[in-house]
Amino acid sequence: MRPSKDMTTKNNNDSKNVITTILNPFQRFLQIEASGGMLLLFFTVVALIVANSPWGHNYQEFWEHHLTIGIDEFKISKSLLHWINDGLMVIFFFVVGLEIKRELVAGELSSFKQASLPVAAAFGGMVVPALIFILVNTNSATEVGWGIPMATDIAFSLGVLSLLGKRVPLSLKVFLVAFAIVDDIGAVMVIALFYSGDIHWNYLLIGLGLFLVLVLFNRLDLRYIPAYMIIGWIIWFLFLKSGIHPTIAGVLIAFTIPMNRKIDVSTFRKRMDDNLTVFCPTDDSSNKITLTKKQLACIDNMEDELVHVQSPVQSLEHTLHQFVTFVVMPLFALTNAGVVFKASGISDFFGELSGTIELSLIMGKVIGIFVFTWLSVKIGMGALPDKVKWIHILGLGFLGGMGFTMSLFISNLAFSGAILLNPAKIGILIGSLIAGIFGFIVLSATLKKEYVNE
């Protein structure tokens, strides 16, 4: 017997509701990142305008004001610039660590088949730009900057994609997010291995010992987040003192946060239904201005169930994501993107260091991402995402050249003086801008209306 038209319609609607339920969290993530990219651009422009205005000197001096916290051996005295780069950015790296763990455990990187293509793209997008920088660079004083063009700024790249609206297939956005997260893993490893200072082993060993305590907490399924945070900030302090860049502590701490949920979705639904049945009685008492003790108990029960159905990793990521996107990253841009153009000759815009970074970001990224993705597909390790063509991978490769946040961060670690740091930042800004424009042009010309997400 053939199903009725109403039954077919109902089944289709149910399927759409399920798909919507699954995709909504990812869509919200994309919206936040895209909005964050626009805000990041705004504060970058503000920083550039102020730095090159008559108040530019005051702007530079303001970030050099020192703030001291603690006493005696536990005292930290740093400039506002360093508090942002070494302190607030730890929260950024902590969220990056949470995203990496989620993707490795239950996301696009959780299986070899899913991970092979974005891993190949990210690997090519890291290795080729670094090689181009090393080959083109001729100054021994600037060779330490090879890690600068390796990064991809997910907020800016998704911001450019958002300008194309619904013409962008969701699979292309997922691919971009996946390879950008792998890119973050590579950047964290590069910072840890090549851009940390002289190591003080006494501080580092104590910090690693406390890290093992957090690993034990995880194994014991301790889900009390304040315990992780208190010990986490002590680890950050010890890493700061040890010479290992403290942002690495943020990533390591994120890996210790429990990923499992206490109850599954079906149990959650049953318990919520039971509580709602008690909370919403059929008699008129449900309309009273005050709640009964049973109703208040139901609220407490439902709040507990809401906590139990979420993994601590996802709960923290959800809580901190907007703070990082709308506070930490714009503040980082306001602090670090203020390049003083009037102090730079025209050669600095396309000079030896800035030009090398620009070439590495633009050509290195697109060549690396495209070629390694093509090789991965040709040898059968991966397959192109649904509705994605090779020309789209080319456009995405250009968007990968928008390094910005992580590139600026690494440039601060690579160069200490303004003589080299200023042209490096100019190279990052111009390279990211040109790469973004090229990526937008390619995708705008090739993404047609038939790719509109249904």
The residue-averaged pLDDT of 279-292 equals 73
pLDDT of 256: 95
If one compares 282 and 125, the residue with the highest pLDDT of the two is: 125
At 18 the pLDDT is 42
Query: Residues 3-30: what's their mean pLDDT?
Result: 51
pTM: 0.80
Question: How would residue 294 be classed by pLDDT, with cut points 50, 70 and 90?
Answer: confident
pLDDT surpassing 80 at residue 97: yes
The arithmetic mean of pLDDT across residues 202-231, rounded, is 94
* 109 pLDDT higher than 90: no
Burial class (CB in 10 A: 0-12, 13-18, 19+), 80: middle
Task: For residues 71-84, give the mean pLDDT.
Answer: 82
Q: What is the pLDDT of residue 335?
A: 92
* pLDDT of amino acid 15: 45
pLDDT score recorded for residue 437? 94
Element (H, E) at 77: strand 76-79
Dist CA 411 CA 332 (whole Å): 13
Q: Which residues contact 24 (CB under 8 A, 6 or more apart)?
A: none
Range 169-182 average pLDDT? 87
| β-strands 76-79, 66-69 pairing | antiparallel
> Of 2 and 163, which is predicted with more confidence?
163
% of the chain with per-residue pLDDT over 70: 88
| Average of per-residue pLDDT across 361-370 | 96
Listed residue (239, 232, 410, 192) closest to 316, CA to CA: 232
Query: What CATH class has 35-196+245-261+310-449?
Result: mainly alpha
Q: Tell me the average pLDDT of the chain.
A: 85
Q: How confident is the model at residue 23 (pLDDT cuts 50, 70, 90)?
A: very low
CA dihedral 110, 311, 179, 435 (to 10 degrees): 170
Res 26 pLDDT > 90: no
Distance of alpha carbon 312 from alpha carbon 255, whole angstroms: 11
Query: Of residues 294 and 18, which shows the higher confidence score?
Result: 294
